[in-house]
Amino acid sequence: MNFLNGVFMAHIKVAVLVGSIRTASLNRRLANALMRLGPSSFVFEEIGIDDMPFYNADLEASRPETVRAFTDQIRSSQALLIVTPEYNRSIPAVLKNAIDWGSKPTTENVWRDLPAAITGASPGAIGTAVGQQHLRQILAVLGATVMGGEAYIGFKRPDLIDEDGHIDDESTRDFLKAYMDKFASLAQRLLRK
């Protein structure tokens, strides 16, 4: 049995989207750390977003297989974790493209009613604050329930989180653990309704 704060939690399938396609991505390291810190009730599935063509309504009549596979994976998930860098005070094009494919056609919007947590890492002082704000607006318009609270991780030291998701700093680890526990509580509460 899985318990969080004394409350039984059923297994929850969480789709994980990483907004960076860089090989040595800080955000992939952060995603790995969050998956390690997530409660045992979460079953994580990282879903690739870099193999879909740019959204084009002309392709709707015969969607590419990569798009069908992506939307099927999101549709089969019960919650969503997005870990993304910030590009020019917004989100990367590859992430926006995935969101656009998942939102069409509107009657089959895969984001609607999905509990979501968003975070990101950057070497800069404000982390990914502005990009996350933009992402929060997009997901809200599409009907996702985005968790309140913010988690902006500044990678002032390159070894803060290693490739496998081990966190070198105890206060960062505690902060992210609390963030994931809060996400689990939100997902469980929304899925009970």
> Which tokens in the block code for residue 75?
């549709």
Predicted pLDDT at 152: 86
Other residues' Cβ atoms within 10 Å of the Cβ of residue 186? 19
Per-block mean pLDDT, blocks of 10 residues, the chain (193 long): 51 97 93 96 97 96 97 98 94 98 96 97 85 96 94 85 90 96 95 78
CATH of 9-192, one of 3.40.1010.10, 3.40.50.360, 3.30.200.20, 3.40.50.720: 3.40.50.360
C-alpha gyration radius of the chain = 16
Predicted pLDDT at 25: 92
DSSP state of 69: H
Interatomic CA distance for residues 156 and 15, integer angstroms: 28
Distance linking the first and last C-alpha atoms of the chain? 21
Interatomic CA distance for residues 167 and 51, integer angstroms: 30
Assess contact for 146 and 140: CB atoms under 8 A.
yes
Angle at 28 between CA 189 and CA 81, to 5 degrees: 15
Predicted pLDDT at 38: 97
Predicted pLDDT at 85: 95
Assess contact for 155 and 187: CB atoms under 8 A.
no
